A and B are shown apart, each in its own frame.
Chain A
Amino acid sequence: MKAFLSDVEIQRLAEQNGSPLLVLDCAQLQKQYKSLQQALPGVDFFYALKAFPNDAVINSLKQMGVGFDLASSGEIEQIRQHRVNPRRTIHTHPIKKDKDIRDALRFGCTTFVVDNIEELKKFRKYRHRVGLLLRLSFQGMTAKVDLSRKFGCAANEALHLIHRARQMGIHIKGLSFHVGSQSASPDAHVDAIQHCLDIMAQSDEPLSTLDIGGGFPVNYDGNTVTIEQFCAPIRTALEAIPSDINVIAEPGRFLVAPAVISISSVIGKANRSGTTWYYLDDGVYGSFSGRIYDHAEYPLRTLNSTDVKPCVLAGPTCDSIDVIAENILLPEMEIGDLVIAEMMGAYTAATATGFNSLDKAKIIVLNEVAKENNSALMQKKTYSDKTVNIDTAVTFH
Chain B
Amino acid sequence: MSKVWSETLYDAYGQTFSVDKIYFESKTEHQHLMIFHNAVFGRVMVLDGIVQTTEKDEFIYHEMLTHVPLLSHANAKRVLIIGGGDGGILREVCKHSSVEHITQVEIDQAVIDMAKEYLPAHSNGAFDDPRANIVIDDGIKFVTESNEKFDIIISDSTDPIGPGEVLFSSPFYQGCKRCLNDNGILVTQNGVAFMQPDEVTTTAKRLAPLFKDHSFYGAAVPTYIGGIMTFAWASDNNEYRNPEPDTLRQRFEEAKIKTSYYNPEIHQASFALPQYIMNALKDIK
Contacts and interface: CB of A to CB of B under 8 A. Distances in A.
- A contact patch SS: loop
A86 B49 contact: yes
A394 B5 contact: yes
Given A106-B161, A384-B109, A396 B1 contact: yes
Contacts of B109: 383-384
A386 B29 CA distance: 7
Given A106-B32, A128-B195, A397 B24 contact: no
A378 B22 contact: yes
B110 A129 contact: no
B198 A388 contact: no
Given A86-B49, A105-B161, A110 B5 contact: no
Contacts of B19: 394
B22 A110 contact: no
A54 to B, nearest CB: 22
Contacts of A85: 6
A106 B249 CA distance: 43
Contacts of B110: 383-384, 386-387
B267 to A, nearest CB: 29
A166 to B, nearest CB: 14
A388 B10 contact: no
Which of A131, A374, A387 has the most chain B CB atoms closer than 10 A to its own CB?
A387
Contacts of A390: 25-27
A171 B13 CA distance: 12
Contacts of A384: 109-110, 113
Given A105-B161, A110-B11, A392 B49 contact: no
B22 A379 contact: yes
A374 B36 CA distance: 13
B23 interface: yes
Nearest to B196: A128
Contacts, number: 108
B28 A387 contact: yes
Contacts of B162: 102, 106
B46 A393 contact: yes
Nearest to B46: A393
Contact of A393 (B9, B32, B161): B32
A338 to B, nearest CB: 42
Interface residues of B, number: 38
Interface in A358-397: 374, 377-384, 386-397
B25 A389 contact: yes
A50 interface: no
Contacts of B23: 379
Interface string A103-133: 0011111110000000000000110111100
A114 to B, nearest CB: 14
A131 B46 contact: no
A129 B29 CA distance: 24
Interface in B82-112: 109-110
A173 interface: yes
Contacts of B12: 131, 171, 173
A397 B2 contact: yes
A394 B36 contact: yes
Interface of B: 1-6, 8-12, 19, 21-29, 32, 34, 36, 46, 48-49, 109-110, 113-114, 117, 161-162, 195-198
Which 5 residue pairs of A and B lie closest in terms of their CB atoms, listed nearest first? A108-B8, A131-B11, A110-B11, A108-B49, A106-B48
Interface of A: 80, 85-87, 102, 105-111, 125-126, 128-131, 171, 173, 374, 377-384, 386-397
28 contacts: A86-B49, A87-B6, A106-B48, A106-B49, A107-B49, A108-B48, A108-B49, A125-B198, A126-B161, A128-B197, A128-B198, A129-B9, A131-B11, A131-B12, A377-B3, A378-B22, A383-B26, A384-B110, A387-B26, A387-B110, A389-B27, A390-B26, A391-B25, A393-B49, A394-B4, A394-B22, A394-B34, A397-B4
Given A110-B8, A111-B11, 6 more contacts: A86-B8, A108-B49, A129-B10, A379-B23, A386-B110, A396-B4
